Amino acid sequence: SLKASEERYRSLMDSAYDAIFLADAETGILINANKRAEELIGKPLKQIIGMHQMKLHPPELAEEYRAIFKEFTAAGGGTTPQLLAQHSSGRKVPIEVSANLVDVGGRKIIQGIFRDITERTRAKELSDTLNEINSSIHSTLNFEQIMQHVIVDSARGIGADAASITMREDDYWRTRYVYNLPQELTAEQLPHKNAALMRLLSDTKEKLHIEDAYKDNRVNKVFMKSYGIHSLLSVPLVVKAEVVGIISFYCKKRSATFSTDEIDFADKVAASVSLAIENANFYEAERSIADTLQEALLAIPKEIGGLDFSHLYRSATEVARVGGDFYDLFEIEHNKIGIIIGDVSGKGIEATSYAALVKNTVKAYAFQDASPASIMSKANKLTVKSTDPYTFVTLNFGILDTEKREIVYCNAGHPPPIVERNKSRIESLKANSPVIGIKSDLPFVDDKTNFDKNDRLVLYTDGVTEARSDGDLFGDKRLTRLIDDLKNVPTKDMASSIFNAMISFSKGKLTDDAALLIISLK
């Protein structure tokens, strides 16, 4: 029957994922809609029916959207890029629209399918903001400037009404940076024993999301009520396994809270800020002591689960003690390990500073991107912007998956790493991409190689192969033969064994800095 058919159609309409509006093609008057449509604009069906379809959108866009409606009518339908719908609360909702013109008993009807793309749009906004924050963090060594940018940009990006960064100073906590909070807060110190929230995050090293701060005993209710804060998100800033600070975002509206995407954004901002703090502490403490600066740049964890490794750096005796060689090993996930080795052109503090910039940029992006080539591309763009036109960087960055037993890597003009396969053959991983810092639009490529339990990876800078003896270079072939000769030497002793052979060859003199990083699976 007709009634049964209408009920089936209504059921199909209401079960649809997207909002559906039906409008008279000639007048633009809405004649029907589904449940999702009611939710999208915050009005019941009885109010929707009889509205002009232009009322679905912000009034300031009415004429622009009217032209789109006419195009749909003339063409028999179509799709749009992002448009905006108007919720009854005044909130603008990003949507994509697909429309079809149908004939119902001689009456032309436009069926508009409105897809709410708020989450997708929000995710992109947060990603773009995070990229801007990371670029800001890695574009300067001025820590105060970095933190001022971070607190403002991250608070605005996440949609918080206020924000703060609180730092630990021995047995006290002090709010160092604020957004939309009184500046006088930065002059106050709170003893660690009296700072319940700070103690909690220091112990757990986990973020804390509180939706009703007035009813939660973990926070200072007097503080929250004084500034009208109803909900908060606090994330610890962790440097070398210690909580050194806390970044907090506050919402003052009772109904406001933070979405899953926004919480993830806060986590990533905290990770980047933690790296910035670590970098700032490094420069603040060691900038006047060149050799200590170099040692810190080359610091590697004492242990990484599942790996044997050794590393070594020596500065050249005929040039400044500080150079641009660098390397790093770091855990990205429980089964993925980042491997960095690189060399900045030039010597001295400036080269070391550029090395820190590149290494920390790669390291920061490694927590957001699984492709070494993509990470290198981003690092290249930042390096081009941040260094002089005569500076370039050779760099090899790989991600070792200890479960799959493979390495995905991108080699940007760096001397080819050498893989010793099961103590029986030697293989070189050739450079597949251009050096970093020359042009911002150069292509970078990922390659992949197996890495089994009995394999060993030897990474080095050109100071190793360019060691000289009476004009003769140590060279790639001599290094390859040496690695084969040392196949029974444990990995933990491998770096020093190669270095000793190189120093013996060059009679104790180096004309360039030399760095070695040797890795094998346990």
Q: Tokens standing for 174? A: 């002090």
pLDDT < 70 stretches in the chain: 1-12, 254-255, 283-296, 317-322
pLDDT digits (tens, 9 = 90+) for 25-40: 889 999 999 999 999 9
Cα dihedral value 257, 262, 265, 266, nearest 10: 0
**CB neighbour burial string for 403-413, b if at least 16 within 10 angstroms, e if fewer:** eeebbbbbbbb
In the chain, where the domains are located: 2-116, 120-280, 290-521
Class level of CATH domain 120-280? alpha beta
Q: How far apart are CA 55 and CA 29, in angstroms?
A: 10
User: In this predicted structure, what is the pLDDT of residue 11?
Assistant: 66
User: In this predicted structure, what is the pLDDT of residue 48?
Assistant: 94
Residue 458 neighbours by CB under 8 Å, 6+ apart = 417, 418, 419, 420, 483, 494, 498, 516, 517, 518
Residue identified by tokens 């509206």 is 253
Domains 2-116 and 290-521 share a fold: no
List helix spans (H) across 367-414. 372-386
User: In this predicted structure, what is the pLDDT of residue 175?
Assistant: 93
In 3-state terms, what secondary structure has residue 222? helix
Q: Tokens standing for 423? A: 């103590």
Residue identified by tokens 């500065």 is 315
The pairs formed by 73-82 with CB atoms below 8 angstroms and a separation of 24 or more are 73/25, 73/101, 73/108, 73/110, 75/101, 76/100, 76/101, 77/101, 77/110, 82/117, 82/121
User: In this predicted structure, what is the pLDDT of residue 294?
Assistant: 67
Q: How far apart are CA 289 and CA 337, in angstroms?
A: 30
Q: What is the DSSP string of 238-267?
A: EETTEEEEEEEEEE-STT----HHHHHHHH
- Give the Å distances, CA to CA, from 455 to 6, 233, 280, 308, 349: 69, 45, 37, 11, 36
Helical (H) or strand (E) element with 346 = strand 336-347
Residue 118 neighbours by CB under 8 Å, 6+ apart = 93, 94
Q: Which amino acid is at 376?
A: M
**What is the third-level CATH fold of 2-116?**
Beta-Lactamase (3.30.450)
Q: How many CB atoms lie within 10 A of CB 268?
A: 19
Architecture category of domain 290-521 in CATH: 4-Layer Sandwich (3.60)
User: In this predicted structure, what is the pLDDT of residue 289?
Assistant: 56
Measured in whole angstroms, the distance separating CA 164 from the mean position of its chain's CA atoms is: 21
User: In this predicted structure, what is the pLDDT of residue 319?
Assistant: 40
User: In this predicted structure, what is the pLDDT of residue 317?
Assistant: 47
